[in-house]
Amino acid sequence: MVIQYEQLFTKVLPVLKIKKADFKMEGLKSITEQDIWRFLVVKKWKKLSEAELALHKVIADIFSLTAAQYMTFTQVEELKSANWFAPINDEELQILIGNQNSPKILS
């Protein structure tokens, strides 16, 4: 299973590099080919089997991907992984309430 994805990744790497360059021009400076590939595997092709991924479909999906689709995906993934109930320290609390110059809260 994974071998086919790896072989496919190698075949379409030049196309991924083109898409990466497009995204960099749109302001996504830190994106990598692996980031784009992960989006496609996790989001775009999650309901498809590897056998259903023809080379022409993979290339078309890469070229049709927009920066907005990618950013939405990464934001949702970040929200899913965030620990909303993690404790915060005094410094983070001061930043949140806007008292960055006030003395630290004493416990």
- The 10s digit of each residue's pLDDT in 31-68 is 999 999 999 999 999 888 877 888 999 999 999 999 99
Q: Look up tokens 């993934």; give the residue.
A: 77
pLDDT digits (tens, 9 = 90+) for 78-91: 888 777 777 888 88
Average pLDDT over residues 13-37: 95
- Could you tell me the pLDDT band of residue 7, with boundaries at 50, 70 and 90? confident
> pTM here?
0.71
Q: For residue 87, what are the CA distances in angstroms to 43, 90, 100, 105?
A: 31, 10, 19, 15
Q: Residue 87 contacts by C-beta under 8 Å, 6 or more apart in sequence?
A: none
Question: What is the spatial distance between Cα 65 and Cα 60, in angstroms, rounded to a whole number?
Answer: 9
User: What's the confidence (pLDDT) of residue 2?
Assistant: 47
Q: Say which amino acid occupies 29.
A: K
pLDDT digits (tens, 9 = 90+) for 66-75: 999 999 999 9
Percent of the chain surpassing pLDDT 90 = 52
